[in-house]
Amino acid sequence: MIAAYLRPLRTGAQPPPPRPRSTRTISRWILTRPDRLHDDEQRQLRDARHCCPELDTLARHVGAFAHLLTRPDDATLADWIAAVRGDNLPALHTYATGLERDLDAVTAGLTLPHNSGPVEGHANRIKMIKRQMYGRANLDLLRKRVLLAN
């Protein structure tokens, strides 16, 4: 009641500024394909990138890496790593160093048609069956359930 009484007495009070977006929200916007963002989200991301040059640089590198993952023939991983090294973004430098350690394996993963998807799918299915049994899964029972599920 007091707030309702005082509200008309407060003249010229400015509404509080909008809360800045959380790091998680901006990260999601950067990692989402631009065509899947709403117009309002695209505008807010554009404003955030305009205010922070490091964020703009990070968003460009993330987009380039996503492009590299979807079309590995267009650019090379070494070019992307060199571009990251040219900017002052320590977190990406650490990521690039990790990629350089296994550069042959990463390049093979990006360019070869082979993958471990089916194996991962079977491992996930076995883990699900084990979780369904609430810890009662000794090896014999788990083996029977896996074989009967096929």
Residue 5 falls within a domain, yes or no? no
Give the HSE-up count for residue 129: Cα atoms under 13 Å, Cβ half-sphere.
19
Same domain as 106, residue 145? no
What is 60-113 written as a DSSP string? HHHHHHHHHHH-TTTS-HHHHHHHHHTS--HHHHHHHHHHHHTHHHHHHHHHSS
C-alpha 150/C-alpha 144 separation (Å) is 10
Same domain as 127, residue 104? no
pLDDT tens digits for range 103-148 = 888 888 888 888 888 899 989 988 888 888 887 768 888 888 888 8
Collapsing DSSP to helix, strand or coil, 2 comes out as helix
Q: b/e map of 89-105 (b: 16 or more CB within 10 Å)?
A: beebeeebeebeeeeee
C-alpha 133/C-alpha 104 separation (Å) is 41
Same domain as 78, residue 57? yes
Same domain as 123, residue 101? no
What is the structure's pLDDT at 2? 87
Same domain as 127, residue 94? no
Residue 85 falls within a domain, yes or no? yes
Rounded mean pLDDT, 44-57: 92
Same domain as 43, residue 102? yes
Enclosing H/E stretch for 28: helix 23-31
Most distant CA atoms of the chain, gap in Å: 77
Number of helices followed by number of strands (H, E) in the chain? 9, 0
- Residue 28 pLDDT more than 90? yes
Residue 43 falls within a domain, yes or no? yes
Nearest to 138 by CA among 129, 61, 116, 24: 129
Same domain as 94, residue 36? yes
Residue 126 falls within a domain, yes or no? yes
Q: How many domains does the chain have?
A: 2
Rounded mean pLDDT, 7-36: 84
Same domain as 98, residue 50? yes
Nearest to 133 by CA among 145, 120, 123, 147: 145
Residue 79 falls within a domain, yes or no? yes
Same domain as 123, residue 58? no
Same domain as 143, residue 92? no
Whether the model pTM is above 0.75: no
Provide the residue range defining the domain that includes 74.
Answer: 23-111
Structure tokens of 144? 């029977």
Same domain as 100, residue 68? yes
